[in-house]
Structure 1
Amino acid sequence: MSKITFIGAGSTVFVKNVLGDVMSTPALQGFELALFDIDPERLQDSERLLNSIKNTLGSTCVIKAYSDRKAALKGAKYVINAIQVGGYDPCTITDFEIPKKYGLRQTIADTLGIGGIFRNLRTIPVMLDFARDMQEVCPDAQFLNYTNPMAVLTNVMNTVGGIRTVGLCHSVQHCVSELFKALDMDQTGVESKIAGINHMAWLLEVKKDGVDLYPEIKRRAAEKQKEKHHDMVRFELMLRFGYYVTESSEHNAEYHPYFIKKSYPELIERYNIPLDEYPRRCVNQINGWKEMREKIFASENIEHTRSKEYASYIMEAMETNVPFKIGGNVMNTGLITNLPKEACVEVPCLVDRSGISPTFVGDLPPQLAALNRTNINTQLLTIEAAVTGKKEHIYHAAMLDPHTAAELSLDDIVALCDDLIEAHGSWLPAFK
C-alpha cells in the first residue's frame, strides 16, 4: 500500500482540506494517510475528522495516526509538511515584541524581516531532522512543503537535506482573482504568467484574447488609490515598478524599505498597513478554535468538496500521468536568468508522472529582479547562518534585510539579534 504522510497533522482544518481532497480523488484511493504531530490531542482530532470524511465519501484510503515520526515516514511516496516551530507563544510573541523595543515594527514576520530570519533559524534544524529521517526510510519521496518561510525552507530541503522538494503557496493561485475582484474586472478568459520568488513573484503578463490588460489595470488602480482600501501597498508597488506582486499588502509592506518607517509614521495610515497583524490572527485563531472544533464535530458525517489546494492535484498528476500546471517553489537551475542560481524561485511548473518540471522564464524586468535580490540576499545569508552555526551570518542577514536596514543602525541590528538569540533560548541551536 502506498503512503502519504502528513507532518503537522494537528493543523486540523488544513488537514481536512488537503487529505479530504485526497479522499475525493479516484486516482488516490487505497493510499495510507499517515498522520504525525507532536500534539496528541490535535492529532486525535484530525484522525477522527478524516475518518468521518472517509465514511461520508466512501473512500478506500486507510487513515493511521503515529506518535513516532520515522514510523510515519517509513515507505512514504509523498510527504506533506505544515508545521510551525515555537508557535504563537513564545516564539511569535518574541519575534514581534523584542524588535518593538528598538522601534522596529512588523506586520506578519513569517517570511522576511527580522521575524522571518528567526523563524527560519528555529525551523531549519527541525526540517533537516525530517530530511535525515526521510533519507533513511523514504529517500525517493516527493516532499510538498507548505511551511513558511517558504523560499528558505524549500531551498534547505533540496540543497542541504537532499530531499526532492517543491514549495507550495496560495499567493500565486489567488493573485489574479484578487486583483480583478478589487478592480471590478471580469477574469473570464484571462491568461497570465507569474514568476519571481515566493511572496514576491510578479504578474509578468496578463492578457485576454492577446490584448495586454495592464494599461486598464493600472488606470483603475490609480483611481482606487485615491480612497483607502486593503491592498494599497501592492497597488503602489505596481504603479511605481510596473507589475503586480503576488503576496498581500500586509506582507509586502515589510519586504521593502518604503512603507513602515519611524520617520514617516503617516505612511501607516496612508497605505492602510496593519501593524502586528499576525499576532492578532494567532490570538483570534486560538480563541476561535474551541468553537470551530464544536462546529466541525457537530455531525458524525462530515462532508468534503475538493478544494483548489495544489497537493492532491500534484499527486494525481504524478499517479495518472495527466499533466497539471502549478506555480511552484524550486531551485533556480537557470530558470530566472537574472537571479542567483543558489536561490529558490517561484515559477510555472508542469506536473506528470516524471515529477515536477519547472519552466524556463528568462530575465525578469530589471527593476523586479533587483527587488527580488534584496530579499534573496537575506534568505541566502540566513541559510549560511543555519548551516555553519556562525552568529556573524545572522547579523549579515539582518543587516541586509531591506526593512531592518532602513530603520536601524548597524550597532542596533547586532544588539537586536543578540537579544532575539537570548530570548529564543532552546528554540535555537547554539551559534558561535
Structure 2
Amino acid sequence: MAKPRVLIIAEAANPEWVSVPLIGWSLSQALGAVADVHVVTQIRNREALLRAGWQEGREFTAIDSEAFARPLWRLGSALRMGEGKGWTMLQAVSALSYPYFERLVWHQFGKRIAAGVFDVVHRVTPLSPTVPSLLAARCARAGVPFVLGPLNGGVPWPKGFDAERRREREWLSYLRGAYKALPGRRATLRHAAAILVGSHHTESEIPTAQRGKCVYLPENGIDPARFSRQATPAPGALRACFVGRMVPYKGGDMLLEAAAPLLQAGRMTLDMVGDGPMLPVLRAQAETLGIAQAVTFHGWLAHEDVQDVLSRAHVLSFPSIREFGGGVVLEAMALGMPALIVDYAGPGELVTPDVGFKVPIGTRAEIVPRFRAALEDLSEHPGKAAEAGARARERVAAHFTWPRKAAQVARVYDWVLGRGGKPSFFDDAPFDAP
C-alpha cells in the first residue's frame, strides 16, 4: 500500500525551541517515515529547519504571516504583564493572527488540495482547541480528509488555587469557556474527518455530535536520541528531582514544604531544575526551612542537558496542579524513572498506578501532607521506585516515542481514507490509560 500524501500544517514547528514548537517539529518529522509529507510552517521557523537539514520547497514551505503575527505577539506580550505569566492572554491575542496564516496557506496550496495532490491535510499546530480552522470546510468541499490535532489545553484551575491563578495573571481564564461560541469552531469540528484529542478533558469539550471522530492521543512524545540514558541513582538517601518553570502552579513551594522533614533528617536530597520568577522565593524558602544544604537549584538547563540531572534521581517529584500535557513526566519515564505527581490533567493521564505514584488533587493543605507521605514511603521502600521505573520505561517505548506516535497517526490516516477501522491506542494496550 502506497504511503499517503499528507500536507501538514504546523504553524509552530521548531527543533530549537521547546513546548508547542518542539511538538510541532517532532511529530512532523516523525510522520515523514510513514507518509509522503510536506510541512507548511511560519517564516520564523525557516532558519532552524534549514539548520536541521530540511530542504525548503521539497520538505517544507515557510509562510510569511509576520504582517499580522508580529504586532499581535507584541500586544499579547504586553498584555500578559510579565514574562512567563498570563499565558491564556498571550494565546488569545496570538490566535487572532492565525486565520491570516491559513488564508496564505490556502492561497498557495488550495489549487493543489482541490486537485487531489494530497490525500490528507493534517493541522498539527496550534494545539489549542480554541483556534478554529478555515481549511477544514475547504478541504471537505474538495473531498480531502482534514485531520485536526492533537488538541489540548484549557484544563480548569482546581478549587483552592485562586491565589496562584491571580499570581499567574490568568484573568482571561475565567472567561475561557466563551471560545465555544466563537465563529468557525463548530464548522471546524463538523468538517474535520478526525479529531485527535490529547486529553480526556479536551474530548469532554467536543460537542457530542462530533465525538465519534475523536481519537485519544496525548500530544507529547519522546525523542529516543535525546533521552537515551537510564536512571542510575546512587544507593543511599532518596534522591528526588523537580523539573519545570519556577512559577506558582508548578508547586515547587509545596514540594519543598512536603519534603522538608526528610531533607532535614538527611533521608533525601532534592534537585530543582528550572528558572522563573519564583526562583528567589524558593531559595529563600529553603533557607527558612533549614534545608538549603539538601537542595540544589540548577537554574535553567538546555533541554538536552536535563537528562544529566534527571538520570541521577530515584523519582521525579512534580506537584504541578495545572499541567496540560506533562512532557517532563514522559522524559523521566523514558529514563526508567517513576514520577510522583498530583492526579489531575495531563500527568494524571500519563502516569498509571503500575508505572508511578499519584496523590489526589485537593487544596494546598491537602496536597502537601499527601506528597510528604508518598516521599516517606519511597524513602522507606527504595525498591518501589526501581520497579515502577522499569515499567515506566516500557510504557514509553510502547506508546510515547515519536516513531510510535507517527505509527499511531498513520492508522488515523488509514481510517479517514477508508483503509481501516477507527483506531484505539490505549483500550487494548498492555498499559491501559485510566
Tell me the TM-score normalised to structure 2 length. Answer: 0.35
Tell me the TM-score normalised to structure 1 length. Answer: 0.35
